[in-house]
Structure formats: structure tokens, C-alpha cells
Amino acid sequence: MNARSRRRLPWLVPIGILAATAAVGGLSSALPAGADPIPVLPALTPAQLLDKVRTAQVTALSGDVTLTSNLGLPDLSALGVRSGTVLDLLAGTHHAHLAVDDPDHVRIALGAPEAERDWIRNGADLWSWDSASQHVQHTILPDHTGEGTGRSAKASTPASDPTTELDPRVAADQLLQSIDPTTEVSVRTPGYVAGRPVYELVVTPRTPNSTVQDGTISVDAATGVPLAVRIDARSTGTAALSLTFTSISFDQPSASTFAFDPPPGATVEEAANPAQLLPLGGNGGHRRGGGKATDAPLGPGTAPAVPVTPAATSGGKGGTTAIGTGWETVEVLSGQSLGRSFQALFANSPTVTVGDQQAHLVSTALINALVFDDGRIAVAAMTPAALTAAVAGA
């Protein structure tokens, strides 16, 4: 499957089964003092704005980001899903601090009451850290040496690298992959993000079978760096997901920002791969430093993600195949091992007929999934009816 065939919402990558895959319209709240409500910028065509994004040369930055999720999921706590897992990011508003020097040096700090959860990438080392539980996870990234110095080094970044999950630039990169003949691209009235003038690039699916009404990328007028991404759901006409910088600096972060040593007394778990640093309420890897294995704590992830990349499930041994093309692509993940949190969610979801089989239907405003008893999961940003028909006809 080529990159353009995958309609993936990057901040959903950590959500496992949903991986296959401050509102931009209200930017006046981020106006600099005394600024005009609408910035005066040179007019750009969609092609010119796309070129501005794709040729941006900024590699180092830091700032505060906000993820807002309104997917229409049921109350997960009522299903027995504990807080403190990555499922928390499926609802509500979450704030983090992002620091990037280059693709191999990234830190995300997710704030929480009386605690902090961090993901740190420092060369080949990838860490997650939960200050409340004094729990550390660590893995060595394969083939970590990046090629090039652009906004992202795709060749050096594992699909499940959690340090990409709350980066609006990465979200924008993946949304831009959707641009093909099945997509309409336009430019809306400029606005502001984090006090900076931005262009608004809008990506709209041409098919009524997509759950996405449109996606909007706010592009910094000076640098071409995406500062915000918003995905509007067709079913509601409002933002289902938005990821935005609320403050940003293009100064180079200090090297000490990316240095990490497990604090004395912390429990350290060696993970087999980056996906295990995207916990869903289970545990994996091997611990050192004593202590009994318990559910892994949340590291700050998104999505997104959609939000994507091989699924970040707990050690699934199967592969991923595709049905359809464009915005009507369905990704079928086989051999998936579901964590307890997702099992609770699926157990309360309706059963639908798919050809001569039965499956649980898990629905959100953007992503729908069919979960089969044989370990297959079919995921798409398509309406339930379109998804079921596509899988039944494959």
C-alpha cells in the first residue's frame, strides 16, 4: 500500500485498533495585542501553500501544544477502563510541552495534576517516564540515524515512535498524504495561531462515504511550519480532533532537554520495541530495578494520530492489508492481541453482520472499526455502512 492510500490520523496511532489510520476556526483568541482580526498576507494558491509547507526548513522548536478530542465515545470509566492509560487521550483536552532539536532529539512532557508524564528521544534511546508511579520504560530504536534535516526524518522514525504523537507538524505531514484526485484542496481566510499569522489549507474528501468533512492545516506565514491541525467530522460538522500550538519558539532547545537518567528508586522496564511505550493498560517487556509487573502507565501520546502506520497493539503477530483506495481505504489488521481496556469497549459494542460473519462495530465520529473473533480488525475513516460493505465485498 502506498502512502497516499492511507487516510491516517496520526494522534490515533497509540490507540491501537484505531491505527491503520483550540479550533482553527476560532483563532481570534490567539490574536497579538493590537493586531487586526484577520492578518494581511500575500495571497497564495493551494499549490503555492503546499509548496511552502513542503519546503519549510525549520528543524528546532519548542512550545506548548493542546490536543482536544471529541470523538463521541461512551464514558470509558463506566466500562471499567481505568484512568492513566493512553485511552485518556480519546476524550477531553490535554496539554503538553514539545521540544525538538532534530528528528533524533525530541521531548514531550504531558502535564497532569501533581504529576508529569514524559517521552524522550535522545539518539537511539527512547524513554517514557511517569513521575506519579516512578515508572520508566526504555527501548533502543533500530536504524535511528536520520536522513536529511527536514521537519521529519521518515526513514529514521519508527511508525510507533511516541515522540511524534503530539507534534502538529507530523499530523500535518500525514494529512497532506491524503492529497490525490479524491481530494479537494483550498485556502481559507488567514488567522492566528499562538499569536502568529497563519494561512489555512483545507483538505476535503470528495466521497460521501468518508467520516471526515475536512481537515484544516494552519501554516505559519513566516516559516511554512504547520502550527495546528483540525479534523471536522461529517456527522457533526464540528471538530472531532484538533492539535495546536498555543505558544512556540524557534530557538534551539538546550541539549540537556533531551538527557534522561532514571531517578533513584524508579522501576525501569526494558521494552522490546517502541510500540510497547504506547501502553493500553497491559504490560510488556522486562523490568529491572525490582518490583512486580503491573499495568504500564500512560506515556504522552496522540493522535491522532490518527490518526497511521502499523498498529500499536500489544504484540500482534499478524500483518496489515488494504481494501480500497483513497479516502475509502480500509486497513485490515490480522492476529491482533487486544488489551483489557479495549476488550471492555468491544464487549459493549453492537454486533453487525459482515457477509457471512459477525463482528463488533466500534464507532467514533471519525474512525470506525470491525472487530472479529479471529483477531482481525478492519479500520477506516468511513461510515459504518460503507466500511461493512467494503469488508463484506472483499
Closest CA to 99 of 127, 64, 124, 53: 64
pLDDT, one tens digit per residue, over 37-83 is 888 999 999 999 999 999 999 989 999 999 888 887 655 554 444 44
Tell me what pLDDT residue 251 has: 96
Side chain identity at residue 130, one-letter code: D
The average pLDDT across 293-298 equals: 29
pTM of the model: 0.77
Pairing, β 135-140 against β 267-270: parallel
Look at residue 35 in the predicted model and tell me its pLDDT: 65
Q: What is the pLDDT of residue 170?
A: 86
* Residues 99-131 pLDDT 10s: 999 989 999 998 765 567 899 999 999 998 888
The whole-angstrom separation of Cα 135 and Cα 365 is 33
Per-residue pLDDT band for 308 (boundaries 50, 70, 90) equals very low
Query: Tens digits of per-residue pLDDT, 152-192?
Result: 333 344 455 677 778 888 888 888 888 888 899 999 999 99
Kindly report which listed range (32-36, 82-86, 297-301, 350-354) carries the lowest average pLDDT score. 297-301
If phi > 0 it is left, if psi is from -120 to 50 it is alpha, else beta; for residue 390 that is alpha
- Please indicate whether residue 28 or residue 386 has the higher confidence score (pLDDT): 386
Q: Which phi and psi angles does 240 have, rounded to 5°?
A: -90, -35
pLDDT above 90 coverage of the chain, percent: 38
Residue in 93, 85, 67, 160 with CA at minimum distance from that of residue 345: 85
